[in-house]
A and B are shown apart, each in its own frame.
Chain A
Amino acid sequence: MRGWKPAPHVLLLLPAFVVLAAVVVVPLLLSLYSSFTPFRLTRPDTIYTFIGFRNYQRLFADMEFWAAFGRTVLLLTIALNLEMVLGLFLALLVEKATRGQRLLRTIMMFPMMFSPILVGFQFKFMFNDNIGLVNNALQSLGLTDQAIPWLIDGKLAFTSILIAEVWSSTSVFAIFILAGLMAMPKEPLEAAKVDGCTPLQSFRYVTWPFIMPFAFIAMTIRSLDIARAYDIVKIMTDGGPAKRTEILWTLISRTAYSDARMGLANAMAYVAIFLSILFTVMFFRQLAKARQQIGAEW
């Protein structure tokens, strides 16, 4: 090494580069490369066979993949909208509380304190057609005398997953929107009252524009969350019945580990990540617009 003397700044940054390369760059490149191979975990030497875009071609022609893709987008869309509306109501209610607001805020966060796996197990039990709480309640209340096959019927299973997902994460929206409400200056609201606004108009013209950026931050976070949803679905239905609730990551994990087709699974994963990036970019654009609109200084 005599004669080569790196500049001090290069030398100082080198450890960071080495660590980053080891934990991020190399795995990323390796997985990207493997998506161009027929790599199977059971036959390690297949990683050296380069097959170009064949995995991607197969993927794009694969109805099962597109069904999972579409289901993920559907889950994301419905869950985000529901969580948004419910979170907004929750936040507005909690903000109105003059007493015990701290306690309410803490209670509101309870669902976030449980592991999604446990949430999955709990809802799986609740929606069990035989011994579940939901059917039991419906029957006791005389609303039905049938055992509704919550997790067995495809559409109902999707709904059940949706409910579990919304239950566990509505508070994300509620907390962000509540933060927005609490940071909001009160004078414009009073000005709106004097200007002749009904409470609904005050909300529509003054409060809503102000909390929109906060809602978009929550949407960005939650869209990433749902786009990578796996645990709740894995536990509740495992993509079943007959792949009716298969979403992107349950499909990817099945392809990678059960079918051992790592190359194909990696190709799917890159498409899934692309979806996430798309949503993130979209929401960040909206966020920037909303922030500029309220002249936010953050």
Chain B
Amino acid sequence: MATVSLKNLVKKYGSLEVVHAINLDVADREFVALVGPSGCGKSTTLRMIAGLEAISGGHIHIGDREVNNLPPRQRNISMVFQSYALYPHMTVAENMGFSLKIAGRSQDVIASAVADAAKTLGLEELLDRRPSQLSGGQRQRVAMGRAIVRHPDVFLFDEPLSNLDAKLRMQMRTEIKKLHAKVQSTVIYVTHDQVEAMTLADRIVIMRDGHIEQVGPPEEVFRRPATRFVAGFIGSPTMNLHDAVVGDSKLIFGNGDTLPLPAQFRDRVTAGQKVIFGLRPDDLYPTGHGIHSGEAAEVHAVEVPVSLTEPLGNETLVFAEFAGQDWISRMLNPKTLRSGDKVELSFDLSQSHLFDAQSEKSLRG
């Protein structure tokens, strides 16, 4: 059990800097997810923590040890890889017990540790199989078993569920969460899937182009995105984000259509300022079909034409045109709509976001 702390961590490949002096403190037993689009440096960061990638600058501490120049084997970490990285020539039991064997533990210790891990992960029946005889989900479980038998200080997960199909991914997600509750150790989890990050992590670190954009609990990064990028990255379907100019108590969109300036931003913007207006599909709904049952204070209704609908069963995503742009709205208790129909959309402005067009930072206090 240990804390992990990154100070001004830099990674360069030749003259190309891919991770730019990032800082992050992970508390003991905390589950932290690094998310971001591919190429944002999240995997590189994880590999630097693991010691698989040399660092070009800064410091990494695990517990109270600086591990900058320690090889992976001296960092007391476990890692689960995207491609499982099982040893193909070893059985499941040998795979899981390998690290203990290398550490010179006795056969008895290894056997009982493997048995424990196998029980935790439901692998008892498979101990004599080889990786090639296992399904993807089983392989991933073995990889996790291999990680937990050592009781490491820190677990590192590198997109562990990306190679699984959607259904299995959900199942394994739950198992990882249970596992963390059980083993209670520090976890750093890399994923490009924001749903995984939201559901699993105590805190989410959103990365972009080698920088950290925002760090915070899932609820916070969802409710109060610090930048336009985070707003667009977190949440599904993505937030409606459209350029506007601040007018006299209103927002003027490109084609001249307007929305009232949300009350919370009135003192924070000046007339003529270029902004990006953001509203989650949950906060934009055909009147009477929203999440908030109508009592929200600041609702502005506009009648707009429907361009497309995506029925999902218990809800329908309605794509409608307003201000010359496509907006996604979420309709609960859906009624049938066809493209071309007129629908009254309620904009819940109390839930809206404004970002400065230039800095892309949130204008919320």
Contact = CB atoms under 8 A, between A and B. Distances in A.
A58 B51 CA distance: 68
Contacts of B51: 193-194
A244 B163 CA distance: 63
Contacts of B130: 295
B312 interface: no
Interface string B73-103: 1000111010111111100000000110011
A206 to B, nearest CB: 6
Interface in B31-65: 50-52
B131 interface: yes
B89 A209 contact: yes
Contacts of A294: 88-89
Given A201-B102, A295-B131, A196 B73 contact: yes
Contacts of A295: 88-89, 130-133
B103 A196 contact: yes
A190 B89 contact: no
Contact of A185 (B50, B83, B98): B83
A188 B99 contact: no
A82 to B, nearest CB: 26
B79 A191 contact: yes
B29 interface: no
A101 interface: no
Contacts of B79: 190-191, 194
A194 B147 CA distance: 9
Contacts of B83: 185, 187
Given A185-B83, A205-B98, A295-B130, A194 B77 contact: yes
Contact of B87 (A196, A198, A205): A205
B88 A188 contact: yes
B146 A210 contact: no
A197 B79 CA distance: 14
B127 to A, nearest CB: 16
Contact of A195 (B88, B89, B98): B98
A81 interface: no
B89 A210 contact: yes
B254 interface: no
Contacts of B81: 187, 190-191
Contacts of B85: 185, 187-188, 190-191
Q: Bin chain B's interface residue count.
A: 20 to 34
A197 B86 contact: no
Nearest to A184: B88
B92 to A, nearest CB: 12
Contact of B50 (A194, A197, A205): A194
A191 B73 CA distance: 10
Given A187-B83, A187-B85, A194 B103 contact: no
Contact of B86 (A188, A193, A198, A293): A188
A193 B71 CA distance: 8
B137 interface: no
Q: Which of B88, B99, B150 has the most CB of A within 10 A?
A: B88
A198 B146 CA distance: 18
B72 interface: yes
B238 to A, nearest CB: 32
A191 B103 contact: no
Contacts of A197: 73, 102
Nearest to A297: B132
B189 to A, nearest CB: 15
A240 B2 CA distance: 73
Q: Which of B78, B85, B150 has the most CB of A within 10 A?
A: B85
Contact of B89 (A191, A192, A293, A297): A293
B78 to A, nearest CB: 7
A191 B87 contact: yes
A195 B150 CA distance: 9
Interface in A69-119: none
B88 A193 contact: no
B87 A193 contact: no
B52 A190 contact: yes
B185 to A, nearest CB: 15
Contacts of B150: 195
Contact of B72 (A193, A205, A206): A193
A196 B99 contact: yes
Interface in A36-88: none
A179 to B, nearest CB: 17
Nearest to B143: A191
B132 A193 contact: no
B52 A193 contact: yes
Nearest to A198: B73
Contacts of A210: 88-89
Given A205-B98, A295-B131, A194 B52 contact: yes
Given A191-B85, A194-B72, A195-B99, 17 more contacts: A185-B83, A187-B83, A188-B85, A188-B87, A190-B52, A190-B72, A190-B81, A193-B72, A193-B73, A194-B79, A195-B73, A205-B102, A210-B89, A293-B89, A295-B130, A295-B131, A295-B133
Interface of B: 50-52, 71-73, 77-79, 81, 83-89, 98-99, 102-103, 130-133, 146, 150
- What 10 pairs between A and B have smallest CB-CB spacing? A295-B132, A187-B85, A195-B99, A191-B85, A196-B73, A209-B89, A193-B72, A295-B88, A293-B89, A194-B79
13 contacts: A187-B81, A190-B72, A192-B87, A193-B72, A194-B52, A194-B78, A194-B79, A195-B102, A196-B99, A198-B73, A293-B89, A295-B131, A297-B132
